Structure 1
Amino acid sequence: MNEKELEVLRIVEENARVDFNTLAKMVDLKEDEVKSILKKLEQNKVILNYSAVIDWSKVDISEPVTAMIDVKVAPKRGVGFDEVAERIYRFPEVKALYLMSGAYDLQVVIEGKTMHEIARFVSEKLSSIDSVLSTTTHFQLKKYKHDGVVFEEGEEDRRIVVTP
């Protein structure tokens, strides 16, 4: 991968909505060259998706419940963690899945409408997989920063400082 392709990747990762003309000027290439680079990166599955970061707390619907589930797994000979990971990431509730170091092997990020829905997922779907030995579920209470985007910048404290 050449330096211009890396430069395009970095810019698109920061702002996927940048138009071709602006992007071309930023990397000092022609618009057609930038389109060609992006097409190549998409075809080679370097760019997998373009997404938006949304603050659901500001939308007039009930905010989804997000949970991070740490999973201890008995790896299988010859396939390690890959086979059980594939079974887990196929569930539509699963938004992300990571192989981790430390006390747990996998971290599963899921979304549901309620905490009860997530509890059902853990007890009925995740825990029933043969290789899963144990789970620990953590519920997300508030989002401060996600994908480099800060939610609700803190307002300046305007209270008068009182000292003895």
Structure 2
Amino acid sequence: MIIIRKAILSDVEEINTLYIYLFDEMATLQPERLKPGKQDEAFIINGIQNNKFHLLVADLDGKVVGFSIAQIQETPMFNCLVQRKYAYIYDIVTDPTVRSQGVGRLLLTAMKEWAKSEKMTHLELSVLAENGAAKRFYEREGLKEVSTMMGITL
């Protein structure tokens, strides 16, 4: 049975193994902008220890098979912006061996519950334009496209 729980320091290595999968997939989708690698362990540790972050893991019989990390954010003080406190999800990652088994849904649901409990009004994230599977997953979970970043290689 999969348990969603807050990450602890002993999870750092397994979380970073999942980051390797994520960064490899991202580099495949956008090789001109992204490269394979590991996450800086200090980022993961900060996600565990800093109360502005919320780092959850999906635990299957003592093995981390997924994680999600979000940060509490507030809109900048621009006159045109409605001021709000929201959660920005940096990453949701599942081990390739458990994909399409509901792990991502469990992590996203837990993030939504956390954001609501912290009186946040929105949950936001970014997804690569080429990542159709992730876009379909997020749309099924009720997320909608709110902005598009555009770029050009010179």
The reply to whether TM is greater than 0.5 is no
Larger Rg: 1
TM score, norm. by length of structure 2? 0.28
Identify the structure with the greater strand proportion: 2
TM score, norm. by length of structure 1? 0.27
